[in-house]
Structures are given as structure tokens and as C-alpha cells.
Amino acid sequence: MQLHLQQVPARNGRLWIRHGFKIFQRQPLAFSGLFGLVLLVTTLLGALPVIGLTLGLMTIPLCSLGFMLATHLALQRKMPNVGVFIAPLRLTPQRRNQQLILCGSFALLMVGLLVVGDLIDGEVARQLMDLMKSGADAEAIAPLATDPRIIWGSLLRVGGFALLSVPYWHAPALVHWGGQNAPQALFSSTLALWRNKGAFALNALLWSALVLAISGSISLVFGLLGLMQVAPVVLLVCMLTLATVFYVSLYFSFVDCFMFGAPPGLLDDDKA
């Protein structure tokens, strides 16, 4: 299919979230079940020795594409199912190979990032964990918690992951629907995020604000009710739901940036 990269207004970053919630409401159990399955599989893979972490990281690009396919089905009033995670590998051998290249390269780069981060703060982080497990007081923990190596290691991981996400954001979808090879898809994804940086910046800001608002509201309400022991459970459920909606909304950023298969008027029904 022909994809046409376009530049969208910054306000569309808000529309992606709005449409994510709208479509999630059509099939909440199906989408939640898919996200729960992803968490289960990644947890099981992570428990495997030696290769578990790498295999778990390899699933991330396919998971994002799987949710795009699930959203595409929901827009057609069809029930999303586990097949969305397998479908990208069943099109053609060429596209399957390109998807595997994306998965493998993403995992290798992430492992490299984690290794470098561990070289920076690994020793301090292990000492800090040991102190916390032993029940040490705050005075003993504070020097390690404020160690510059901890700060630099955290900044490297967060910043590195954010930069790495840019080329891989749309790449699996560009291979699946656009037939691009892996290097071309990575370039196209990077170009799309750069041209539409205003919309993606607003999108990220609104997601962050939403997370903070919900977290603060739950703490305040359950604190006033004297039920703080229940708050972590409610917060966990809310955060899992938000994470699911986030993955549902990925489809709308893709169709908006590349003019592919967008339902008529869906991305233009809120100009305010």
C-alpha cells in the first residue's frame, strides 16, 4: 500500500489519546486481555536464564504492531484476538524477515543500553538494594541514593530508551502495511516523528499529566477515606488500563502521520 507522510498540527496529539479511549470502550475486555497476555509472556520470557531478557525485548516491536492491528479490527466492529500478534509474521517471508530484523536489532540495542547503564551505576545500585533489603535507616541509604552514578545511569537508560523509540515507533507498521524494508522503515519512522514533533510532544505531555493526575487523585481520595491500603491496588488497575489505552492509541498516530486507512472524519471530528 502507498503511504503518504504528512505533517499534522500539534493538537492532533490530543486527538490520538481521545480516539484511543473511544476505541478501547468498544472492546475493553478484549484489549485488556491482550495486554494481560503481553505482560504474562514477557514475564515468562524474562524468567528464562541467559536469553530471557533478549527474547522479552524482541517482543516489544511486535506487541506495538499487534495492538495497531487490534485497533484496526475494532474500528471494523470486529473482535480483536491473540492472532494480531502472529499476523505480522504470516504475510510474506520477506516481511516476516524484516520484522524479525527490527525485533532483533531493537533487542540488541536495548541490551547494549542496559549494559552501559549497569557499568555506570551497577555497583552502587546493588549496594543500595542490599541496604534496602536489610532494613537500613534513611541516613545509611541517603548517600547511595544521591550518588551521581545513580543519577547518570538513570538518565542514560531513560534518555537512551526515548531516543531508541523514535526510529522503532512506526517501523513495524511501515513494514507490515507499507512493505518497506527495515532500514527504510526506521528512517521513515524517524522522519515522521521529527516532522510531527509538536503533536508527539503534546501527546507525551498529556499522557504524563494524566498519569500524575490519576495517581494524585487516588492518593488524595483514599487518604481522606482512610483506605490507603487499598490505594495501591486501585492505582495498579488504573495504570494498567492507561497503558492499554496508550497501545490502542498508537494506531491513530500512525494513520494520522501516514494517511493510511484512517476512518473518514475520525481524526477531524474535534477541531477545538
Domain-located, residue 123: no
Instruction: Let me know the angle formed at the C-alpha of 85 by 180 and 114, rounded to the nearest 5 degrees.
Output: 80
The whole-number average pLDDT for the span 249-253 is: 95
Domain-located, residue 75: yes
**pLDDT at site 196:** 95
Number of domains in the chain: 1
Q: What contacts 24+ positions apart, CB below 8 Å, involve 80-83?
A: 80/27, 80/30, 80/31, 80/34, 81/30, 82/34, 82/37
Averaged pLDDT of the chain: 87
Domain-located, residue 227: yes
As given in the structure block, the three cell numbers for residue 45 are 520470557
Domain-located, residue 215: yes
Query: What does the alpha-carbon distance between residue 26 and residue 67 come to, in Å, rounded to a whole number?
Result: 14
Residue 53: name the closest of 63, 61, 43, 65 by CA. Answer: 43
Q: Which is more confidently placed, 186 or 262?
A: 186
Contact between 245 and 18 under an 8 Å Cβ cutoff? The reply is no
| Range of weakest confidence among 69-83, 140-154, 165-179, 239-253 | 140-154
Looking at the predicted structure, is the pLDDT value of residue 267 above 60?
no
**pLDDT at site 156:** 87
The letter for the amino acid at 272 is: A
Domain-located, residue 77: yes
Residue 266: name the closest of 63, 74, 29 by CA. Answer: 74
**pLDDT at site 240:** 95
The letter for the amino acid at 42 is: T
Domain-located, residue 145: no
Whether the model pTM is above 0.75: yes
Domain-located, residue 232: yes
Task: Give per-residue pLDDT as tens, 38-50.
Answer: 999 988 988 888 7
Looking at the predicted structure, is the pLDDT value of residue 269 above 60?
no
Among residues of the chain, what percentage have pLDDT more than 70? 88
B/e letters for 189-217, b = 16+ CB within 10 Å, e = fewer, are bbebbeebeebbebbeeebeeeeeebeee
As given in the structure block, the three cell numbers for residue 264 are 473518514
Query: What does the alpha-carbon distance between residue 227 and residue 221 come to, in Å, rounded to a whole number?
Result: 9
Sequence-distant (≥ 6) Cβ neighbours of residue 228 within 8 angstroms: 219, 222
Segment holding 45, helix H or strand E: helix 28-46
Domain-located, residue 61: yes
The whole-number average pLDDT for the span 29-45 is: 93
| Range of weakest confidence among 19-33, 79-93, 131-145, 198-212 | 131-145
Domain span at residue 42?
Answer: 15-90+196-258
